[in-house]
Structure 1
Amino acid sequence: MATKVLAASAAAGLVLAVVGSFLSWFRSGSVNRSSYQVVGLIDRFDLTDNTFVVLALRVWIVVPLLAAAAIALLVLGATRTGAAVTVVLAIFVGTAAGFAAVQGGDDGGPIGVTPAGPVTTTIGTLVAVIGALGAVVTAAAGRRQVQTNRGVS
């Protein structure tokens, strides 16, 4: 039972992280932009030639799809696989969101970071990681308990 509750909290954390990725992340003038709009602008204006950054931007676009896949794995009972995907995705997304959240913005300046999206996404990824790791630990403890009850060492 605890494994299912923790897997559900991991899934809820991923949902919160994805919702946060669609909220406002940056402001330019009076226009607020989501993380996906910013990624599109960086790509459109070719603002980076760093291969790692370009790859990260490409992966960012499929974050909702990857989150849905992780949630499906957790729901279908593939706890370890779902948790592994959840943790990897949450580290990637949470790191980007955390960096954006701590940058803050100059409220008086023409360009800035808006905290709604990055903070929501960061909280979601933290919940997802805690839930995923907890689900794996409780699932492993449950397997050990079943083996002990059967007399298997």
Structure 2
Amino acid sequence: MVTTVVGTFLPWLRSGSVTRDSYEVLALRGFAGLDGTWGEVIRAVWVGITPVAVVCVVLWSVRLRRFAAFSALVFGTIAGTVGALAAVQGGNEGALVGISLTGPVVTLGGAVLGIAGAITVLTAKTRTAISPGGAP
């Protein structure tokens, strides 16, 4: 979770010697024609990534493991999809404006680890505790 959130603050876009993180790129959504309702939905979902990560950690810490895993699955799917889409567009060296691979790849890596952990928790068999008297 931490790796995914950190990846959102790493460089995602470069223009000459200037780099921008995913939130700065999000502020440019009007230039891409996404300044209407869809632009606001995209902004709300992406800005909500960090709070969802915090919710996952809190759920895990209060021993609601399956809820935390489900939240991590949704979190990883959204962040990983955006990271993967940006990563496959990156690597255009020599262009005036291009995708920087650092942020998308770190975000994607963290999302893949989060999804793998969530699937592991969701598919694990639960164990019942046996009381000292021998009855479950």
Please indicate the TM-score interval, normalised by the length of the shorter structure.
Answer: 0.7 to 0.9
Cα deviation for residue 51 of structure 1 reads 4.1
Cα deviation for residue 53 of structure 1 reads 4.8
Q: Where does structure 2 lack aligned partners over 5 or more consecutive residues?
A: none
TM-score by length of 2: 0.86
| Residue in 1 that maps onto 2:46 | 60
Percent of aligned pairs sharing the same letter: 34
- What is the count of residue pairs matched by the alignment? 133
The AA in structure 2 aligned to 1:16 is T
Larger relative contact order (Cα-Cα within 8 Å, sequence gap ≥ 6): 1
Higher helix share: 1
Cα deviation for residue 50 of structure 1 reads 6.5
TM-score by length of 1: 0.78
| Residue in 1 that maps onto 2:8 | 21
Which consecutive segments of 4 or more residues in structure 1 shift more than 6 A?
Answer: none
Choose from 56, 65, 71 the match for 1:85. Answer: 71
| Residue in 2 that maps onto 1:107 | 93
Cα deviation for residue 47 of structure 1 reads 2.7
Task: Calculate the aligned-residue CA RMSD, in Å.
Answer: 2.1
Cα distance in 2 between the residues matched to 1:33 and 1:86: 26
Cα distance in 2 between the residues matched to 1:52 and 1:134: 34
The AA in structure 2 aligned to 1:142 is T
